[in-house]
Structure 1
Amino acid sequence: MVKRLLNCFASDFEKMTPQDLKQSILASEGRTVLSENIVAFEPAARDITNSELARSFGADLILLNVLDVFDPVIKGLPESNNPIKLLKKMIGRPVGVNLEPVDPTANRSEEGLEIANGRQSSRETLIRANELGFDFICLTGNPATGVTNKEIIAAVKLAKETFNGLIIAGKMHGSGVSEPVVNLDAIDAFIENGADIILVPSVGSVPGFTQDELIQAVKKIKSKGALAMSAIGTSQETSSPATIRDMALMNKIAGVDIQHIGDSGYGGVAPYENIMEISKAIRGVRHTIHMIAGSNER
């Protein structure tokens, strides 16, 4: 049997299969933190990556945003022919990447943003994500990119055929499209087509999305054998630590397995105080210390 994630060291992650990682998260009973990092900005700590900063303050999983998989430049990382392998060695944590299922026919709610092909979900980018060694992908949308639940469903199906790691699917905000962010029928389709983890907005992040609705969504997700991940992806990751703490506790009450904190802080990562705040709120100081202090040599 695998160890629960909050007891793991770098050597444990190196040995895990994707399903081992999923079970390790499940066994941690809602005490897993994911930090989303923008890789294209000058890092918050300048000469180290945002991923290193996030890991040092309590992040268990790292999700890279705005990465072009055909040109995988990560600011702050030493030059390497295999940047993802190097990053994983440096932080001793599983690493994933956002790929965006853009819908050219979407009913837009705002002026659209064009993104590079290497950031969009396609057979070619999924193959490339495998080659780079990502542990998971997240099929979702950044602001104004025109990602729809319909295209996420198609992307999940393709990813199940193409990508070897865990598949996260869902929306944390509108992504520039006029449609409900959380759709229970879409959640069913994500899971039926192969998603391992379903992304839903954090309590308090999307107008009108209530805790009762989150609880309903989480119960559906778990009943079908998938994991649930709440996401603070509306720049509230830069709010006060008290706000982060309140959101984290409400998400935990709702039953989510993973708590995502977004990348809108200076340099493309949440303020380090807030990463630690979410960690302490959902698992206490003892487990936070274990995750941040354990050497990568263990």
Structure 2
Amino acid sequence: MATAMFQKLRLSANKTTLPTRKDSILPPPGGPPNAASFLGLPPELRNAIYECLARETTLNLALTKRRSKRPHPISGLLLVNKQIHGEFRPLLLASARISIPVADFDFGTVIRALEAIPEDDRRALAANHRFYLTLFMAHAPKQSDLEGLAAWLGYRAEAEQPKDATAPTSEQVPLHALRFRYNAKIDPARSMVSRRNMRVALLTALIRKIAALGGHKNHTVEKRRMMRDLYRCKDELMGVERRADGELEREIALTASTIDSPFFGFQYVPQYR
């Protein structure tokens, strides 16, 4: 199941088809590329085209235990032929917006999938600055949710630890080289309370619960990144625009310093329809 994370991006040799039109931009099967073909363009131009397409592409990779009856959409350029697939795939994984949904704060599936990523794909993903983990929640964080969050942050913190300099070096890209950003999808149950206020309240509760994990002195790189990204999600919900990152960092520090306060928690005023 974990190895299927990028299965839909793979090219099957027996499914490779080439256009038969005489005015095709591709060379004839088995023939060398000509000047009028896409593969006849200089590599620099092809890479520029690949990068433009990759930046406009969004990949939603659902890690489910069951095989979906509805196949995930595949970027059509990957299906042209093996050469274009081999050239475009690394740039796609390095530049596209990639989102992996995380339901019920179960990061176990994500971890297993990450550890099964082929080395070439991992190298490309390590350069991607738009690699998101999207947290889905419909209620205030439960104890099981916090355990899942703590396990994920502990996994990432262990990966961030410096390795022994005397240990033999490896050519493989380590998992901690992958940089994740975080997004949140809040879908509260129907109630008399304003849904917008409820979303803000649930997201605030999640941020403060994350701040409380391990105490305010235990702020790992991944924990701060998660809080920073979730604060940006909250600002977007509230229509707040921060002019400087320093303001956001001060609010994160304030949240961390008040987790032991008797007033710690979230409150909102119900707005009845």
Global fold match (TM > 0.5):
no
**Rg: which structure is higher?**
2
Q: Which has the higher helix share?
A: 2
Q: Which has the higher contact order (CA 8 A, sep 6+)?
A: 1
Task: State the TM-score bracket (shorter-chain normalisation).
Answer: 0.3 to 0.5
